[in-house]
Amino acid sequence: MKDTRVRQLAEVLVNYSTKVKKGDVVLISATGMESIPLVKELYALCLEKGAKYVEYEFNVPDINRYFYNNATDEQLAYFPEHKLDQMKKADVYIGLSAADNSMVMAKADQKKMIAWSKLVRPIVDWRVKNTRWVITRYPTHGAAQEAKMSLDEYEDYLFAACCIDWHAESLKQDKLKKLVDAADKVRIKASDTDLFFSIKGLPGIKCDGRYNIPDGEVYTAPIKTSVEGYITYNCPTVYQGKEFNDIRLEFSKGQIVKATSRGMDKELNGVLDTDEGARYVGEFAIGVNPNIRVPMRNILFDEKIFGSIHFTPGQCYDECDNGNRSAVHWDMVKILTGDGELWFDDKLIQKDGRFVHPDLLELNPGD
């Protein structure tokens, strides 16, 4: 029996996020074969909307791992021009992941993974700047296990986070964006965290279901050299197939001057040494999805946890350009629920993961 929520998710992605219309060229890129039910619904719906061509492709992480471990220098340096040409012809890009093992890259060659990410960055940049794009996840047993849930529980959680009234959520985010736009100084206080920075003149950007599903954040960026203090993240993060816990970063004049992670110091600093920009921050965001409340070891969900912030080493977004450039963009999440304060210009905005500013109370979910 078909799960009707798969069709609902496809409708969000096609009708709301990317607004597929007659004459569009659509590329559906899926990682993991378990995503086939959603790919089928997306393909059918895009045709129904009048897309003139719909391409779909599947990536298999185990095969990619073989490339990272075995590619020669010559193979690693070959730029797949045909992939860029394909992206240049697309009006719409829908990316989905149904990976069943988040650790598949844990022992892959990290240096080659970093080199490859740098090489193919122009393809990603073209997609971000020139297509109507969205990315999402499809539930698998492996993802459910990572989230410490049964598959049924994980499906309920995923679809509840994705299939909501994004138009209504967008309207709720307007007041938070307004406060971000007007703010200068930001302070984050919590256990082993006391962080200061300025966002003066940098805009607040609503994330209201147009590019990520699930969505639910308002982001900006710090002035590149303004960050001072320290932060300890309490949400696990998986990057390049490796899990990092208890990441602690210390900042001076915007730069990460000390970085530790339980049992993973070398790997953490290896990523942060990718390039100069990897030790500066490109994004500061506040999570506001009312139906995402606990970590799942999946950044597309975890960065939207209500009552969380993420503070991201690496590349900034064009929409909020603080001048930082890097091949890295690593969203690291700190949950403030039960322990934490968020201040704008000496005014308390959020305490213990709930908004206390009178203009933002409607963002708080009912518990």
β partners of residue 343: 187, 348
Instruction: Give the per-residue pLDDT at 257.
Output: 98
Q: Are residues 277 and 200 part of one domain?
A: yes
Q: Are residues 226 and 184 part of one domain?
A: yes
Q: Are residues 287 and 195 part of one domain?
A: yes
**CA pair distance 342, 301, nearest whole angstrom:** 21
Residues of the chain with pLDDT under 70: 1, 367
Q: Are residues 173 and 158 part of one domain?
A: no
Residue the block writes with tokens 């999805």:
289
Q: Are residues 283 and 213 part of one domain?
A: yes
Instruction: Give the per-residue pLDDT at 367.
Output: 63
Q: Are residues 243 and 170 part of one domain?
A: yes
Q: Are residues 171 and 109 part of one domain?
A: no
Q: Are residues 143 and 239 part of one domain?
A: no
Range of the domain at 288: 166-363
Give φ, ψ of 252 to 5 degrees: -145, 120
For residue 148, give the CATH number of its domain. 3.40.1830.10
- Please indicate, yes or no, whether the overall pTM of this predicted structure exceeds 0.95: no
Helices (H), the chain: 4-11, 36-48, 61-70, 73-76, 81-89, 110-119, 121-130, 141-146, 151-162, 166-182, 265-272, 299-302
Q: Are residues 173 and 150 part of one domain?
A: no
Handedness of CA 230, 236, 237, 242 (dihedral sign): positive
Instruction: Give the per-residue pLDDT at 134.
Output: 97
Q: Are residues 133 and 32 part of one domain?
A: yes
- Domain final residue pick, 133, 162, 191: 162
Write out pLDDT tens, residues 112-163.
998 998 899 999 999 999 999 999 999 999 889 888 899 999 999 999 999 9
Q: Based on the structure, what is the number of domains in the chain?
A: 2
Q: Are residues 274 and 235 part of one domain?
A: yes
DSSP state of 28: E
Write out pLDDT tens, residues 343-366.
999 999 999 999 999 999 999 998
Instruction: Give the per-residue pLDDT at 245.
Output: 96
